[in-house]
Chains A and B, each alone.
Chain A
């Protein structure tokens, strides 16, 4: 009984600590408050105003940032789900020359930090004319090793019987993938999609390197350029809140896939 009480107290205290920053962000977004006049309790609601939201919506550039984020997120997410599903299937179920070695190279390359690849990629993309375009952020993200790994892990645990039965019924490879394998893999493909969404939507480092024009910024980089500069804390918080909404919705509906994916990626 005592243990239960302690658990509940800890749960509530920690829950408040974890939620408070988000609460401050949302409440603060309805306040008209200059940086210079900030006080510690500015976010406690009185005189709420929609001014900040109207400001960022009228500004135009903010809407553009959101639009850019959508472009550089939605396309890689869709593509990652397709390619990782097919490749995971290939590496789990197919026999072809070089299968082991290719997969081994993939797993080795995972150890290369993206910060290492970004310098040569900056030089390559300058040559390609990809600086300040969506291409630099979309094309390299069309599939991912981690996603392939997750789907492969998942499909290795599924018996081959279904597939074999379909072959005997005369189905070809592509039909089997779409009619048998894909429906089975929906949970893991959803995991790949949610991971990809979060990493692309939240990415700051790559946009920072490949983009210099404000109109090409995704919302992360746009918000970063606003930090401090706006002078109005409420506007910053309104911007943060708006950019948080898509993440939050994805999280709300796909939380299960996040947590399952995290477990799968770590503890095979």
Chain B
């Protein structure tokens, strides 16, 4: 008995407080939030049961659907370029260049830098006047100054650009790991057969990276549905709601309009979207792990 305690003391001493913490800060809020969606939560006074009122409102709330649409559009601007840039960076790093370690660090630097810092610079780079760096560069090729963040058809793409810059470095790390795991003999065999580098890439490297493509696509998609910081910092959801993403709309409803119950509905919508994406990932990765 004593021996048994000796071998498991650490389990009981540490696991119990962690489980209590887990119930209070993860499980309870998750349940409370669901309950909240059926209530009218007022800042002062008791909550009132209203049934499906907020869920019904969501179905007819044009702004909520616009926010979802904006987020989908953001994903469209963001996912493929992030993967492409990540892959290009990984290929360069992996091509046997000297100083690869240094440049790996440089490409990874934005990943660890806060959105606030990058947004501060990005906002100036894409300033919608002649003082902005990008407009200055465009002037050399004869393009008129663009409004960028104050143009409702450009703002979302500028925010996507910021995210691509910030995230490509971590995509690079995944691809780099993938490239390193490819058997070098495959390349040598192809080269003996006289295949060009271009052909080797499209017939060997790219298809063999399939599990990585899939994994990176899923994680960047989940990330893109949670985009908030850059919209909050640079556009405030505007102009004309063009950059109001799901999370930005949730924030505005919950913490500017103090409509917490409706914000909870929106957060559940976000959750369901992410859940579906994650389930696809789990199903697919289960099959794919055999090949990797």
Contact = CB atoms under 8 A, between A and B. Distances in A.
Partners in one complex: yes
Contacts of B103: 11, 14-15
B250 A115 contact: yes
B14 A247 contact: no
Q: Of residues B18, B103, B106, B116, which shows the largest number of chain A Cβ atoms within 10 Å of its Cβ?
A: B116
Contacts of B268: 116
Contacts of A90: 10-11, 14-15
A120 B29 contact: yes
Nearest to A110: B278
Interface in A58-105: 83, 86-87, 89-90, 94, 96, 102
Interface string A224-256: 100110000100110010011001101100010
B1 interface: no
A38 B109 CA distance: 26
Given A113-B267, A266-B174, A247 B112 contact: yes
A259 B226 contact: no
B89 interface: yes
Contacts of B247: 115
Interface string B121-143: 11111010011110111000000
A180 B232 CA distance: 47
Interface stretch (B20-28, B49-57, B62-70): B20-28
What secondary structure prevails in chain B residues at the interface with A? Answer: helix
B197 interface: yes
B284 interface: no
Interface residues of B, number: 92
Contact of B97 (A7, A198, A258): A7
A112 B264 CA distance: 13
B101 to A, nearest CB: 9
Which of A3, A123, A174, A236 is packed against the most chain B CB atoms within 10 Å?
A123
A24 B121 contact: yes
Contacts of A15: 103, 106-107
Top 7 nearest A-B pairs (CB, nearest first) are A40-B136, A202-B114, A120-B29, A120-B32, A116-B267, A120-B33, A7-B95
Interface of B: 6-11, 14-15, 18-19, 21-22, 25-30, 32-33, 36, 41, 88-89, 92, 95-97, 99, 103-125, 127, 130-133, 135-137, 165, 170, 173-174, 177-178, 197, 211-212, 215, 219, 226, 228-229, 232-233, 247, 250-251, 254-255, 260, 263-264, 267-268, 270-271, 274-275, 278, 292
Given A22-B113, A173-B9, 12 more contacts: A10-B88, A10-B92, A15-B103, A25-B117, A90-B10, A115-B226, A173-B7, A173-B10, A174-B9, A174-B10, A202-B115, A262-B174
Interface of A: 3-4, 7-8, 10-11, 14-15, 18-19, 21-22, 24-25, 38-41, 83, 86-87, 89-90, 94, 96, 102, 106, 109, 111-113, 115-124, 139-140, 142-143, 167, 172-174, 177, 198, 201-202, 204-205, 208-209, 220, 223-224, 227-228, 233, 236-237, 240, 243-244, 247-248, 250-251, 255, 258-259, 262-263, 266-267
